[in-house]
Amino acid sequence: MNKSEQGLNIIDFILFTPLIILFFINILIFTHLIHVSAFYSNLLSIINSALLMIGWIRMIYKDKTS
């Protein structure tokens, strides 16, 4: 594994760890186990969607470069 691949793996870890955590927080919010205002619920959804889109773009980029 060269330096650039190692850097990509670190970025993927930094990217997907909050995505997984936010996903479970969103499940708790949508099942009303955690009560938050609509603003925070929408904000978490936007952040979750943005991280997911970045993850998809990175996966496509990895496929094209390999």
Cβ of 60: how many Cβ atoms within 10 Å?
Answer: 10
What pTM value is reported for the model? 0.59
pLDDT in tens, 2-47: 666 666 677 777 777 887 888 888 888 878 887 888 888 888 888 8
